[in-house]
Chain A
Amino acid sequence: MKIRTFIDQFFAFTRKEFYHILRDRKTLLVLVVLPISQLLIFGFALNSSLTEMPTAVLDMSNDRMSRQIVAEIDASSTFKVVERVSSMDEVDELFKRGNLSQVFVFMPGFEKEIKRTGVGNVQVIMDASLQINASTLESYILATLLNYQRKINAGRELPIQIVPEIKMRYNPRLDSAFHFVPGVIGIVLMLVCSMMASLAIVKEKESGTMEVLLVSPVRPPVIVLAKLVPYLLVGMINIVVILLISVTVLKVPITGNIFLLFFIGIVFTLSSLALGIMVSVLTKTQRSAIIISIAGLMLPAITLSGFIFPLDSLSLGMKVIVHLMPVTLFISAARNIMIKGLGMDAVYPELFGLLAITIVLIVISIKCFKNRLS
Chain B
Amino acid sequence: MNLAMILAENIGMTYRQVLKEIVALKEISIEVKEGEVFGLIGPDGAGKSTLFRILTTLLLPTRGRAFVGGFDVIDQYREVRNIVGYMPGKFSLYQDLSVEENLHFFANVFDTTIQSNYDQIKEIYEQLAPFKNRKAGALSGGMKQKLGLCCALIHKPKVLFLDEPTTGVDPVSRKEFWDVLKRLGKEGMSVLVSTPYMDEARLCDRIGLIFHGELLAVDTPDRLIRKHDKKLVAFRARDMYRLLRDIREEPGVYSCFTFGDSLHTTFREGDYPVERFAASLREAGHVGVEWNEIEAGIEDYFMMLTNDISDGTGH
Contact = CB atoms under 8 A, between A and B. Distances in A.
A286 B59 CA distance: 22
Interface string B57-92: 111100000000000000001100110101110111
B91 A217 contact: no
B105 interface: yes
Contact of A217 (B56, B96, B111): B111
A217 B110 contact: yes
Given A16-B97, A209-B93, A373-B53, A216 B59 contact: no
Interface in A5-28: 5, 8-9, 11-13, 15-16, 19-20, 23-24
A374 interface: yes
B108 interface: yes
A9 B88 contact: no
B197 interface: no
Contacts of A40: none
A212 B86 contact: yes
A218 B106 CA distance: 10
Contact of B96 (A9, A20, A213): A20
Interface string A213-234: 1111110000000000000000
A371 interface: yes
B94 A20 contact: yes
Contacts of A12: 104-105, 108-109
B31 interface: no
B60 A372 contact: yes
Given A211-B92, A372-B58, A217 B78 contact: yes
Interface in A152-206: none
A19 B86 contact: no
Nearest to A23: B96
A170 B175 CA distance: 85
Nearest to A216: B109
Nearest to A372: B58
Given A214-B81, A215-B84, A208 B91 contact: yes
B101 interface: yes
Contacts of A248: none
Contacts of B96: 19-20, 23-24
B111 A5 contact: yes
A121 to B, nearest CB: 64
Interface in A219-277: none
Interface in A81-127: none
Range of interface residues on chain A?
20 to 34
B106 to A, nearest CB: 8
Contacts of A5: 111
A12 B97 CA distance: 13
A207 interface: yes
Nearest to A8: B108
Nearest to A22: B96
Contacts of A9: 108-109, 111
Specify which of B58, B91, B151 lies most central, judged by the most chain A CB atoms within 10 Å of its CB: B58
Contacts of B109: 9, 12-13, 213, 216-218
Nearest to A210: B92
Interface in A348-374: 371-374
Contacts of A16: 94, 97, 101, 105
Contacts of A11: 108
B81 A374 contact: no
A320 to B, nearest CB: 38
A215 B84 CA distance: 8
A371 B101 contact: no
Interface string A317-355: 000000000000000000000000000000000000000
The 7 closest A-B pairs by CB, nearest first: A12-B108, A208-B92, A215-B86, A373-B58, A215-B56, A208-B90, A23-B96
Interface of A: 5, 8-9, 11-13, 15-16, 19-20, 23-24, 207-209, 211-218, 371-374
12 contacts: A9-B109, A12-B108, A19-B94, A20-B96, A207-B92, A209-B92, A209-B94, A214-B57, A217-B78, A217-B109, A217-B110, A218-B109
Given A12-B104, A16-B94, 7 more contacts: A12-B108, A20-B96, A211-B86, A214-B58, A216-B110, A373-B53, A373-B58
